[in-house]
Amino acid sequence: MAVSVLAIVQARMNSNRLPGKVLKTIQEKPMLWHIVNRLNKVDEIDKVVIATSDLPADDMVYQMAGKYGISCFRGSESDVLQRFHDAAVMVTAKHLIRITGDCPLVDPPTISKLIKFYFKGSYDFCCVACGASVANENNINRFPDGLDAEIFSFKILQEAHNEADTDLQREHVTPFIWKKKNRYISETLYSETGDYSNYRWTVDNQDDFDFIKWVYNKLYPLNNDFTFHDVVELLEKHPDAIINNHLIGQEGYEEFWK
């Protein structure tokens, strides 16, 4: 039976800067488990699947998924668009949410708002205002980097899969879609409470991971449903805990808009 909304989490062990980061432990669980757990709190999501590679290095991701009863698809390591597409085919999904395995603070209320926004506007593609897809926009209210999420139909995904022909498009899944403004009706969900571009909540380096682990250690034992606004409130009280701001601007997002 087809599902309406499927969240696919891209994850692999072979990270260049922080190998094995997706399975690093936070509050006695792998970081990847926390991402799936947070997505499972979104009522509008019918199913969550991890999409990892078929390389031996990613056996551990597959085994972790099995241990916790999480669906897992294995496919091409380099052609992530192919892997993402085939994971959607496996589940027979009508609409896809793309999440990456380096976003352990992915925010359920924001994802829920994104899904409702997408369906209400009958858009082809919608994204949360952070990351590469809005890197060419100025003077906008961004969410913290690390709250990335995109939603689009399987029909659009299939078109991208059939037509995308550059390494960048195949590796990053959605640039083919969000750069075709004249072809697809696209919209962005901007922050309604201010600009948070001064926060970096993605995990790409050890400082990122240490910061995220500190956030979880402070908030998770008190409330495992903590939201993005809870994190902001915490950081306003403890600004010295933000040890990874020096990494802002080093993401390489400019390559997407050359």
What is the DSSP secondary-structure string of 211-222? HHHHHHHHHTTT
Cβ neighbors of 41 (< 8 A, separation 6 or more) are: 108, 225
Q: Give mean pLDDT in consecutive 10-residue pieces for the chain, a chain of 258 residues.
A: 90 90 97 98 98 97 98 96 96 96 97 98 96 85 96 97 93 91 94 95 96 98 96 97 89 64
Would you state the pLDDT for residue 2? 74
Q: Which residues pair with 52 in a beta bridge?
A: 74
Report residue 173 as tokens. Answer: 């899944």
pLDDT for residue 257:
56
- pTM confidence score: 0.95
Q: Which amino acid is at 165?
A: D
At the topology level of CATH, where does 3-257 sit? Answer: Spore Coat Polysaccharide Biosynthesis Protein SpsA; Chain A (3.90.550)
Compute the distance between CA of residue 24 and CA of residue 221 in angstroms, rounded to an integer.
18
